[in-house]
Amino acid sequence: MPAVNYAVQYSQALDQAYPNVLHFAKYRSTANDSRYRWVNANTIEVPSISTTGRVDGDRDTIGTAKRNHSNAWVPLTLTNHRKWSTLEHPMNIDETNQVLSIQNITKVFNETQKFPEMDAYFISKVYADWIAAGKSADTTAITVENVLSIFDAMMERMDEKNVPQSGRILSVTPPINKIIKNAKELSRFINNGDTSVKRTVHDIDDVEIEVIPSDLMKTVYDFTEGYVAGEGAKQINMFLGHPSATITPEKYSFAQLDAPSAGSEGKYVYFEESYDDTFILKNKIDAIEFNIEA
């Protein structure tokens, strides 16, 4: 039986699964995904457009026509090159539907290893790029008394940079989520049937809160095999972001089942290889905020 590379079909199947299994899925399904172009297997180009401002008009003269915008393509190289392989007994393979067989083989691997690793890579890469851009995380110890003040300060900084209020997501660990729920600064007003949680500056209900397991909210990971917290890793307590600030290109270059052979002792061999990465768009760096442990 000839070997066939099912990279495209497998990638499409994963796209359908992501929203249900990835904690940061909403950062992987934005309009940015259609705004970059692939140059080769591990390089993309992202458009960077800038314009000048308007000037006063004059009804009595004609101004000089000139180009008042620039359009450049910025190359970005994907550095997260990952692979995985395993053996499978012929009795577990549906030869009439190889893609389904691949999905069955990788189901547990995807749900227990790959998808959590992708979450860990996303948050740590966003944090690393954000720090590299000259930003610094808030390290205030979060308490019931101050958690919403910290949240307000994050929101205010984004407001000052004209980050859209609609669509902001607050990712927190379970302990921080409990603190938010119990915060003494929260006041509930029942007015004309309105039972939303209101703040003096921002309405906490206007921000989507995602609760992320603490082990998937670290500043650094070691990806030698799977993922573990890296040396010097800090706990990320709160991550306030807008999905429009990031792009998450991914390409499966290989996903294939090889037929049983003497070399594999009569078993199928499955192998997959991918390139992926996470980038913060340069002109949207202010749509990211962090609070981490000191």
- Could you give the domains of the chain? 7-48+72-292 (3.90.1690)
The predicted-structure confidence for 105-131, as pLDDT tens digits, reads as follows: 778 788 889 999 999 999 999 999 999
**pLDDT-based confidence at residue 191 (cuts at 50, 70, 90):** very low
Residue 254's pLDDT is what?
81
Mean pLDDT of the region 141-154: 93
Give me the amino acid identity at 71.
N
Q: What pLDDT is recorded for position 192?
A: 46
Is it the case that residue 196 has pLDDT exceeding 60?
no
Tokens read off for 28: 């992987």
Looking at residue 2, its pLDDT comes to: 47
Q: Name every residue whose Cβ is closer than 8 Å to that of residue 239 and which is 6 or more positions away in sequence.
A: 123, 126, 170, 171, 172, 212, 217, 288, 289, 290
- Where is pLDDT greater, at 109 or 218? 218
More confident residue, 40 or 222: 222
Lowest mean pLDDT among 31-45, 120-134, 192-206, 267-281: 192-206
- CB 62 within 8 Å of CB 68: no
Give the percent of the chain with pLDDT over 70: 83
Which residue did the predictor score with more confidence, 225 or 204? Answer: 225
Does the pLDDT at position 205 exceed 80? no
The set of residues, in sequence order, having a beta carbon less than 8 Å from that of 209 and lying 6+ positions away, is: 169, 170, 171, 172, 177, 180
Q: Is 265 left (phi over 0), alpha (psi -120 to 50) or beta?
A: left
15 vs 10: CA distance, rounded Å: 9
Determine the pLDDT at residue 1: 41
pLDDT in tens, 154-189: 999 999 999 999 999 999 999 999 999 888 656 554
Task: State the pLDDT at residue 101.
Answer: 67
